[in-house]
Amino acid sequence: MLEYTLLILLIPVFLFIFLGFNFKRIKEPVSGIIGTVGLGITALISYYTAYLYFSGGINGAIVDGHYAKVYALNTVWIHFSQTLHIDMGILLDPISAMMLIVVPTISLMVHLYSIGYMHKEEGFTRFFAYLGLFTFSMLGLVLATNLFMIYIFWELVGVSSYLLIGYYYNKPSAVLAAKKAFIVTRFADFGFLVGILMIGFYGKSWDFGVLTSEEFITNLSHTFGPAFMGLSIITWALIFIFVGGAGKSAMFPLHIWLPDAMEGPTPVSALIHAATMVVAGVFLVARLFPLYYFMDEGAALNVVAAVGTFTTIFAAVIAFTQYDIKRVLAFSTMSQIGYMMLALGVSGYDGHEGVGFMASMFHLFTHAMFKAMLFLAAGSIIHAVHSNYMQDMGGLRKYMPITHITFLIGALAISGVPPLAGFFSKDEILAAAWEKNFVVFGTGYLVAGMTAFYMFRLYYRIFWWKDTKYEHTPHEAPKTMTIPLLILAVMTIISGFFPFHNFITADGKPFATHFDWIMVGASVGIGLLGILIATIMYKKENILSDRFAAAFGLFYKWTYNKFYFDELYMFITKKIIFAKISTPFAWFDRHVVDGTMNGIGNGTVWISKKIKGLQSGRVQDYAMYFLSGVVVIIMIFWFFYN
């Protein structure tokens, strides 16, 4: 009955193959329309599936009052042992059903938007083909039934991200950025793979249903005691898996690829680098959440919390000083994903304890909506002004009213102003952190204010500041671009009211939440404070901000240069790894390894030359060989038998 869910994957991959093979034949708007319609159908099927799941219309979706995992499809793909096999299938559970709403929605909006945005770009059809590939991979990732399948789609997502960042392949900076993103995430994925293999070797299963089941985890904790640095081998495996997740989700210190990835077309940034792919790390931890929570009393989860907390403030500080509007948004994304990570990190499991988990997923959902909208709005601004830099902007509110309103809604939402979506999810995260750890809470609280400040700095610098004289008068984007913006704006306004705690919780059981009015007041207060400061500093052109920059001097310069992390990595790779390690290895490879291989090759040819006489062409010889073969074999085995 659930076989139709396969269509959710098949339609996007068909779009990819169809558009990819015909990219020269299908011309401009047609391929965009084909892609959008295809995605629309995918979205409808996905919504229907998610609705069926949450409403309990699927057999086995609700067991004893809590949501359970449902295998819509599952077949063994490669078989290793009774319990260990690589499967291919579709798994429905609260978080994958939620992602079935997020991914197709954003992807559909981006498809529609791109028809306008990519107008008259070279390779229009190619772009839509790549979008199809990405959507397919991302949906495969969220629907995967086991660790290995998720890994396969994880890499596919990486490839499509590479292709899309490097879309303008004749632009050197885009090519560099694509390479950087691919290499950094690939490097992190190595950790992921090691983790997967460790889980397979010690846990003897990759299936999510098994991995998250209670008896399996109890069994594991009894079997594996402390192995290294007081942590069990499974915890280390989980930490390795988190390295992979941190790479995709641009967590410190693997974050360096995300800002550069903004070289890709803006719709791509909205889809991949704001809403879907970058939250894959969060999704992965959520997927294995019981394992993270119960192994060694959550040791691996503490790592997640620490990394998330540090990244959230680190990225927020950098966002203060950037001038490229897409980069500000990129750092803001990093910061918000850090938020989700820290929420997972401080979450408990049972009932209301698991509010962090719920808040993290909630924030993932709302963030996807408003951040995609902010990126799309930024895209429409860039489309109008032909620049990424806020120095070239100012006063745009008069020229682009729709973009202005949607951007404002997005900025208010991310600052946590009620009743917009960001307010609810952020409030839950802070509440969860408050119950658990004061440092985490304090950082999160501070970042809430900082977020409001840098977002409104961005907003004012784009839409107010001064009346810039433009060479070409900027004008509002075409309908295909403004409609997705408006739809996402509506989503941003209403998505905060979804009762997430009834559907998506760590243990699958709904729980009751209550507003802690002090917490609400405090978090709204700091958001408003941030907005206020930004208003004073940036509403009208003034020199306040320059003065602040001068006052902070060195620190400002550091921050502006993203704490020199790119330079540090460059130094490590070029000066240390390439020069000191790779060069000797290259020599070894060229002389010893290649030498051996050439030797084997030459040897093979030599032998084959020597033995060609055997094949004489005379049947009597063949009979002779045949008979000698039989005799020799019989003799040998007679000898052994003796």
Partner 1 sequence: MNWNTLLLMRQELVLTTVILILLVVDVIVKNKKSLNIIAILLFGIYTILGFFPSGNNELFGGMYKNTELIFAFKNILNIGVFLITMISVSWVNKKMLPLNKVAEFYALMFSSYLGMLFMISAGHFLMLYIGLELATLPVTALASYDMFNRKSSESGIKLLLSAAFSSGIFLFGISMIYATGGSLYFNSIYGNIAISYLSIMGLFMIFAGLAFKISLVPFHFWTADVYEGAPTPVASYLSVISKGAAVFVLMILLFKVFSNFIDLWIYLLYGISILTMFIGNFFAIRQTNMQRFLAFSSVAQAGFILLGFLSADQVAVSAVVYFIAIYVLSNILVFAAVQSIGLASNKYNIEDYNGLYRTNPLISIALMFGLFSLAGIPPIAGFFGKFFLYTAAASKGFYLLVFIAVVNVTISLYYYLIVVRAAWLRKSDNPIQFYKSDIFMKISLVIVSTALLVLGLFSPFYEYIFSISNI
Per DSSP, the chain holds a count of helices (H) and strands (E) of 28, 6
Nearer to partner 1, 159 or 446 (CB): 159
Query: Which of the stretches 171-179, 310-318, 386-394, 626-634 binds partner 1 when contact is defined by CB under 8 A?
Result: 626-634
Nearer to partner 1, 170 or 608 (CB): 608
Nearer to partner 1, 24 or 222 (CB): 24
Query: Which of the stretches 260-268, 471-479, 509-517, 606-614 binds partner 1 when contact is defined by CB under 8 A?
Result: 606-614
Phi-psi region of 56 (alpha: psi -120 to 50; beta: other; left: phi over 0): left
User: Residue 627, interface with partner 1 (CB under 8 A)?
Assistant: yes
Run of H or E including 434: helix 421-436
Nearer to partner 1, 579 or 597 (CB): 597
User: Residue 626, interface with partner 1 (CB under 8 A)?
Assistant: yes
Q: Provide CB contacts within 8 A for 215, sequence distance 6+.
A: none
Question: Residue 231's beta-bridge partner residues?
Answer: 228
Nearer to partner 1, 20 or 395 (CB): 20
Q: Provide CB contacts within 8 A for 330, sequence distance 6+.
A: 258, 259, 261, 262, 269, 273
User: Residue 10, interface with partner 1 (CB under 8 A)?
Assistant: no
Nearer to partner 1, 226 or 629 (CB): 629
Question: Residue 324's beta-bridge partner residues?
Answer: 389
Q: How far is the CB of 69 from partner 1 (least distance, A)?
A: 21
Q: How far is the CB of 438 from partner 1 (least distance, A)?
A: 51
Burial of 6 (0-12, 13-18, 19+ CB in 10 A): middle
* Whether 251 contacts 281, CB under 8 Å: yes
User: Residue 640, interface with partner 1 (CB under 8 A)?
Assistant: yes
User: Residue 605, interface with partner 1 (CB under 8 A)?
Assistant: yes
Angle between helix 94-117 and helix 28-54 axes, rounded to 10 deg: 160
What is the rounded distance in angstroms from the CA atom of residue 336 to the CA atom of residue 313?
10
Query: Which of the stretches 25-33, 171-179, 351-359, 621-629 binds partner 1 when contact is defined by CB under 8 A?
Result: 621-629
What is the rounded distance in angstroms from the CA atom of residue 3 to the CA atom of residue 406?
39
Q: How far is the CB of 589 from partner 1 (least distance, A)?
A: 17
Nearer to partner 1, 228 or 641 (CB): 641
Task: Give the contact letters, 66-95, x = binds to partner 1 (CB under 8 A), - = no.
Answer: ---------xxxxx--------x-------
Nearer to partner 1, 229 or 614 (CB): 614
User: Residue 553, interface with partner 1 (CB under 8 A)?
Assistant: no
What is the rounded distance in angstroms from the CA atom of residue 277 to the CA atom of residue 270?
10
Q: Which member of 497, 571, 588, 637 binds partner 1 (CB under 8 A)?
A: 637
Q: How many residues bind partner 1, per CB under 8 A?
A: 33
Q: How far is the CB of 154 from partner 1 (least distance, A)?
A: 17
Query: Which of the stretches 51-59, 64-72, 249-257, 610-618 binds partner 1 when contact is defined by CB under 8 A?
Result: 610-618
User: Residue 598, interface with partner 1 (CB under 8 A)?
Assistant: no
Nearer to partner 1, 10 or 494 (CB): 10
Q: How far is the CB of 623 from partner 1 (least distance, A)?
A: 5
User: Residue 639, interface with partner 1 (CB under 8 A)?
Assistant: no
User: Residue 517, interface with partner 1 (CB under 8 A)?
Assistant: no
What is the rounded distance in angstroms from the CA atom of residue 195 to the CA atom of residue 284?
12
Where are the alpha helices (H) located in 261-400, listed in sequence order?
A: 266-270, 280-287, 289-294, 299-319, 325-345, 355-385
What is the rounded distance in angstroms from the CA atom of residue 26 to the CA atom of residue 11?
18
Nearer to partner 1, 230 or 601 (CB): 601
User: How many angstroms separate the Cα of 190 from the Cα of each of 136, 247, 527, 570?
Assistant: 23, 10, 39, 20
* Whether 515 contacts 423, CB under 8 Å: no
Tokens in use for 406? Answer: 């949607």
Q: Which member of 4, 515, 571, 625 binds partner 1 (CB under 8 A)?
A: 625
Q: Which member of 120, 170, 609, 613 binds partner 1 (CB under 8 A)?
A: 609
Q: How far is the CB of 633 from partner 1 (least distance, A)?
A: 5
Residue with tokens 């000797």: 584
Residue with tokens 């929420």: 343
Residues between 85 and 144 with contacts to partner 1, criterion CB under 8 A? 88
Q: Which member of 418, 574, 607, 613 binds partner 1 (CB under 8 A)?
A: 607
User: Residue 622, interface with partner 1 (CB under 8 A)?
Assistant: yes
Q: How far is the CB of 171 from partner 1 (least distance, A)?
A: 30
DSSP string computed for 474-507: --PPPHHHHHHHHHHHHHHHHGGGS-HHHH--TT
User: Residue 21, interface with partner 1 (CB under 8 A)?
Assistant: no
Cis peptide before 172, with omega less than 30 degrees from 0? no
Query: Which of the stretches 158-166, 190-198, 208-216, 620-628 binds partner 1 when contact is defined by CB under 8 A?
Result: 620-628
Task: Give the contact letters, 558-597, x = binds to partner 1 (CB under 8 A), - = no.
Answer: ----------------------------------------
* Whether 147 contacts 211, CB under 8 Å: yes
Residues between 261 and 290 with contacts to partner 1, criterion CB under 8 A? none
Nearer to partner 1, 228 or 638 (CB): 638
User: How many angstroms separate the Cα of 9 from the Cα of each of 221, 437, 577?
Assistant: 36, 41, 41
| DSSP category for residue 577 | I
Task: Give the contact letters, 22-61, x = binds to partner 1 (CB under 8 A), - = no.
Answer: ----------------------------------------
* Whether 75 contacts 88, CB under 8 Å: yes
Nearer to partner 1, 87 or 263 (CB): 87
Burial 381-397 (b: 16+ CB within 10 A, else e): bbbbbeebebeebbbbb
Task: State the residues that interact with partner 1 by CB under 8 A.
Answer: 75-79, 88, 601, 604-605, 607-609, 611-612, 614-615, 617, 619, 621-623, 625-630, 633-634, 637-638, 640-641
